[in-house]
Structure 1
Amino acid sequence: MNSNYSKVSTAIVIAFAMSGVAHADETVKIGEVAPTTGQIAHLGKDIENGARLAVEEINAKGLTINGQKVTLVLDAQDDAADPRTATQVAQKLVDDKVVAVVGHLNSGTSIPASKIYSDAGIVQISPASSNPAYTQQGFKTTYRVVATDAQQGPALATYAAKSLKMKRVAIVDDSTAYGQGLANEFEKTAKSVGMNVMSHDATNDKAVDFRAILTKIKGENPDAIMYGGMDATMGPFAKQAKQLGLRAKVLGGDGACSEKLADLAGDATDNIVCSDIGMALQKMPGGKAFQAKYEKRFGEPVQIYAPFAYDAVFIAIDAMKRANSTDPAKILAAMPGTDYKGVIGETTFDSKGDLKHGVISLYDYKAGKRTLIDVMQM
């Protein structure tokens, strides 16, 4: 045999074999977006960590779709809790050819970004956005694994009126889609259950000095002040309320109801009651095990949203498995049939992409530690 021919043949065989190895694994990108810079970076990092833990576990176990080994890559992006940045990041994830997105955190970023994912036909699963409008736009791509403010606001108002026996309430919101939406839902129910809403003021999500609003509210002498906003501003708000001598309870929603709130509010946390848009970590079916592995992996406690982000990744992969495809269109088509049992419990969706069975948990703080006081099935 001609030696040159033999060498060429061998080279072709080796090249073919190598190309076969190179294409044996399919790399699939899962997008994840949350603010990892700015005032609420700790909450955004909580989401990123939850999603990263899920991706690492799936890769360690091994994932095969349609006979092909699939390796997941987490495409993590920072939207800085800014609506304009959120749309830019969403477009980047579309350009990166992600097959699903876990995010965003804020309703004010999830809502504008959702149009971009919808246009691209990519499923978006938010582990945190609670404004009802997010899933009311008619998009087939929008899902969330938390309850909505249409459930959270009423739960918080009902608890304040019936369990805390509050009669007079002042309301303040941070003018964001989340804070304003939650405050409005709270106000509607507060009035319907007989509470006297003394006032409703607006601040912003970058504010640091609330003394002017609080001095006005002090003159109204409410039993409670409901604050619609995130922990970064709720902490100083509650602290300044105490410094000004207000005895009113300070009520907040999930964005404020973090482990870090105690650091931000100091001893004023003893006067705070807040709600969360899911089951308490210690009450979740897989909560204790998740908490242990999260703390071992990242060396810090779960803030709020990590278990929801973790399950959101698994829910997307569950749809991928049922579709037996990594095609975003086929993954999206499988999403309505979701019935996934994970860390947060059983997840099934209604026709809009909302949970069929939302849960609101209520907390107070004892000696700086967030303490569960009630769970309301919605």
Structure 2
Amino acid sequence: MRPKTARLGGVLAAGVALSLALAACGGGDTGTTAEGGDTAAAPTTLKIGFIGDLTGDNAAIVIPPRNGAQLAIDEYNATNPKVKVELIPYDSKADPSTAANLAKTAIQKDKVVGIIGPAFSGESQQVQPILEEAKVPSISASATRTALADAGAKYWHRVVANDDVQGPAAAEFVARAVTPKKAFVIDDKSPYGQGLAQAVTTALKGKSEVQSDSFEATATDFSSTVNKVAAFNPDFIFFGGYYAQAGPLIKQLRDKGVKARVMSGDGSLHSNLIEGAGTEQAEGTLLSCPCKIAYAWAEADENSKKFTETFKTKFSGQLPEIYATEGYDAATAFLKAIGEGKVTTEDINTYLTSVDFAGLGKPIKFTEKGEVADTSVYIYQVKGGQIVSVGDAKDANLS
């Protein structure tokens, strides 16, 4: 995420499996309730939930933050703290209604003291009031819709900048480094995709001639949109949506003969984008993100390199893809509260209002609205079949 880095502390606990058995294991009396009240017994284990799409079409951008959170918790537990922490994953399949029901299960049945997530903006919008009513704090590693911070929630937080930051930052980079005369903006009609596309459109107007189109988030045939793009003949295309559609969309655009440079946001920032588009067709694609992809920064940043190596060792060679560092940092914020003896939901939430530490991706400090104070946005590019860092959007340039 950010060029500012953190020391990756702790010892990696070996042999901890990420399986359904994790959700079923006990771990001792939590000593707390979802409402934040203490029981007579001191807690020995506290539960933190993770809500996100773990098996759906876009699971590849949700599993990394889940694993990042697990890594942070394993390292914490390996220090033999007085109160250990158990991560319980809840698979929402990116469905807002499912996420809402899972949040109720987490609160009422599992008695979690915090939630990492939900991962996407649509499900976050439905879950936010549920957690607010129960007074259970949450930290999303990836939900970027701006309106989430405007609901007056006191228990909601995120460790990424919102779309009103990412959109203009991406557009200003494009206006400076790409200088398009004609831009075509596309979204997938999701709360996330629409918000990001609108932010980009607003920032580009007056600098480029702009046309736009939308399609359903479940679409697989983009011929109508592709024909409109081809007729407009832009030199730049922006897509607000996720990699599951971004890859095939790019392929269909290239097959149609559209040569315009393509850019998307954080929802498309995954190596699966390249697989979906084809290596040759994806070449040169730009991606923006208020996040730090550790492996893309490994050559320039020692902490990113160390995290990448540790992550790959822990998770059978998997790269720490998008939001792995943010999942790690979100979990760390909760762990710092628990390490300071905060064991109720309200005490943990109070701690989060003043938490301030050098995270792996960026400094972690929250505003009164729950937004992360550091709002840097980064640019990435597909080169030679790999995602590489271009730099901070403020001064990044294309070679």
| Structure 1 residue aligned with 2:241 | 229
Structure 2 counterpart of 1:279, from 283, 292, 297: 292
Query: What is the distance in 1 between the residues matched to 2:213 and 2:162?
Result: 22
Shift of residue 182 of structure 1?
0.2
Structure 1 counterpart of 2:389, from 364, 372, 377: 372
Query: What is the distance in 1 between the residues matched to 2:386 and 2:241?
Result: 20
Give 1:177's aligned amino acid. Answer: P
| Structure 2 residue aligned with 1:182 | 196
Kindly tell me: are residues 285 and 98 of structure 1, through their superposed partners in 2, closer, same or farther at Cα, counting changes over 3 Å?
A: farther
Task: Verify the 8 A CA contact 1:357 1:377 in the aligned structure 2.
Answer: no
- Please give the root-mean-square deviation of Cα atoms over the aligned residues, in Å: 1.7
Shift of residue 345 of structure 1?
2.8
| Structure 2 residue aligned with 1:3 | none
Task: Verify the 8 A CA contact 1:168 1:195 in the aligned structure 2.
Answer: yes
How many residue pairs align between the two structures? 349
Q: What fraction of aligned residue pairs are identical, expressed as a percent?
A: 31
Give 1:235's aligned amino acid. Answer: G
Could you list the runs of 5+ residues in structure 1 that have no partner in the other structure? 1-18, 64-68
Structure 1 counterpart of 2:47, from 29, 38, 56: 29
Shift of residue 278 of structure 1?
2.0
- The structure in which a higher percent of residues are helix is 1
Query: What is the distance in 1 between the residues matched to 2:63 and 2:389?
Result: 23
| Structure 2 residue aligned with 1:13 | none
Asked if 1:208 corresponds to 2:220, the answer is yes
Shift of residue 325 of structure 1?
2.3
Shift of residue 234 of structure 1?
0.2
Give 1:107's aligned amino acid. Answer: S
| Structure 1 residue aligned with 2:373 | 356
1:333-344 to structure 2, matched below 5 A, reads 333-344=350-361
Query: What is the distance in 2 between the residues matched to 1:133 and 1:270?
Result: 33
| Structure 2 residue aligned with 1:52 | 70
- The structure in which a higher percent of residues are strand is 1
Give 2:168's aligned amino acid. Answer: P
1:218-367 to structure 2, matched below 5 A, reads 218-266=230-278, 267-281=280-294, 282=297, 286-299=303-316, 300-322=318-340, 324-367=341-384
| Structure 2 residue aligned with 1:12 | none
| Structure 2 residue aligned with 1:116 | 130
Give 1:54's aligned amino acid. Answer: A
Q: Which has the higher contact order (CA 8 A, sep 6+)?
A: 2
Give 2:146's aligned amino acid. Answer: P
Shift of residue 152 of structure 1?
0.8
Asked if 1:163 corresponds to 2:181, the answer is no
Query: What is the distance in 2 between the residues matched to 1:117 and 1:284?
Result: 36
Task: Verify the 8 A CA contact 1:34 1:47 in the aligned structure 2.
Answer: no
Give 2:239's aligned amino acid. Answer: Y
Query: What is the distance in 1 between the residues matched to 2:63 and 2:326?
Result: 13
Report the TM-score when normalising by structure 2.
0.84
Shift of residue 129 of structure 1?
0.6
Task: Verify the 8 A CA contact 2:144 2:160 in the aligned structure 1.
Answer: yes
Structure 2 counterpart of 1:137, from 151, 163, 166: 151
Could you list the runs of 5+ residues in structure 2 that have no partner in the other structure? 1-28, 30-40
Query: Residue 192 of structure 2 aligns to a residue in which SS?
Result: helix
Query: What is the distance in 1 between the residues matched to 2:178 and 2:137?
Result: 41
Kindly tell me: are residues 44 and 280 of structure 1, through their superposed partners in 2, closer, same or farther at Cα, counting changes over 3 Å?
A: closer
1:63-100 C-alpha deviation (Å, 9 max, x unpaired): 2xxxxx21211111011011111101111111111011
Shift of residue 259 of structure 1?
2.2
Task: Verify the 8 A CA contact 1:285 1:343 in the aligned structure 2.
Answer: no
Shift of residue 377 of structure 1?
5.8
Give 2:154's aligned amino acid. Answer: K
Task: Verify the 8 A CA contact 2:169 2:394 in the aligned structure 1.
Answer: no
Shift of residue 115 of structure 1?
0.7
Kindly tell me: are residues 24 and 133 of structure 1, through their superposed partners in 2, closer, same or farther at Cα, counting changes over 3 Å?
A: closer
Shift of residue 376 of structure 1?
3.0
1:284-324 C-alpha deviation (Å, 9 max, x unpaired): 673211111111011211220111011111101212334x2
Query: Residue 118 of structure 2 aligns to a residue in which SS?
Result: coil
1:172-219 C-alpha deviation (Å, 9 max, x unpaired): 100011000000000110114x1111x221112211111121012101
Structure 1 counterpart of 2:85, from 54, 59, 72: 72
